[in-house]
Amino acid sequence: MQLLEGKRILVTGGTGSLGKVLVRRLLSGELGQPSKIIVFSRDEAKQHAMRVEYLNRRAVTDEVIYRNYERILDFWIGDVRDIHSVTSVVRNADVVFNAAALKQVPTCEYFPFEAVQTNVGGADNIVRAIREHDLPVQTVVGISTDKACKPVNVMGMTKAIQERVFIRANLDCPETRFICVRYGNVLASRGSVIPLFHEQIRNGGPVTITTPDMTRFMLTLEQAVDTIFVALRGAKRGDTYIPRMPSARMTDIAATLIGDMPIKIIVTGIRPGEKLHEILVSEEEAHRTTARDDYFVMLPILPELRSEERNAQWLENEYSSAENLMSPEQVRELLRRHGLLSPDQTAMEGELLR
């Protein structure tokens, strides 16, 4: 039997960029066919749009994910900040993916307590619901970010605490496995830089860069879900899975998207809370982080949860986006391969200027 066969799945923040791809992948049955997938979020408009999208696609395709839509997918209005709302939905789940978050760095800087309530309080509410009601949830996956490592902004600080809330929960809820994933910038997700660059190019420029030296890790939404699924298969209680991914200069991404078009790049200065480079594993975390295939696995900081790792090779240094940077040619190929750049620049120009 496959891992999620017959399971009841809850995806908080299920109408977000990651949540939507995660739901589609879950519906495909690649980890087994769930009996129910609950999309939990507080935005009824996004839920309605997602529901309509599945209805419309079902009419023109016989793909399994759309055939399964009505039988499996359920939409639930609620807020991770509300313990009563969270308890009512978590009691119906075997596996929980917590994708609900306030994630835009400047927004969190201007409204820090809002970020605390969603990113920290929401995670704690999931733990409280399981602990206080003795709910038989098998696994909870906390979805984190590189900004949680050596955090300098509110978003990263709240995500770092969210990681610790979930890892600590393994001591309070011994029948539930709490694990985390941590990864970098997701290409073309809502609110990220590539859609912004595309919009600026469509409008004739200029393209805005906060600082010429800024670097970021790069992965796609599909690779983010791959990371979640790999962790779901292999993580022990308290583990954090981190993909080994390429990184790039923001100037190279902007220049690649602009190509030969007469569009200027201007430097606007680092925004509130931004880092020059991101880090996925700090020096302090390296001594408990080991490589497994295409991923790093960070063991829990709490010794009560740490199991023996035979023949483990621990990292010696931090894992930073400033290292192993892609060349401009590699950036172009990455964007082309994932449908963010047409095979030839002429086609790309036509697409962006339509």
**Residues annotated catalytic, as ranges:** 147
Residues whose CB falls within 8 Å of the CB of residue 53, separated by 6 or more in sequence, listed in order: none
In one letter, which amino acid is 131?
Answer: R
SS (H, E, C) 160-219: HHHHHHHHHHHHHCCCCEEEEEEECEECCCCCCHHHHHHHHHHCCCCEEECCCCCEEEEE
Rounded to an integer, what distance in angstroms lies between the CA atom of residue 248 and that of residue 243? 15
Residues whose CB falls within 8 Å of the CB of residue 204, separated by 6 or more in sequence, listed in order: 263
Rounded to an integer, what distance in angstroms lies between the CA atom of residue 31 and that of residue 5? 7
In Å, the largest CA–CA distance within the chain is 62
In one letter, which amino acid is 267?
Answer: V
Kind of pairing, strands 247-249 and 215-219?
Answer: antiparallel
Question: Are 199 and 210 in contact, with CB atoms under 8 Å apart?
Answer: no
Candidates 208, 213, 241; CA nearest to 225 is 241
Residue with tokens 């807020």: 79
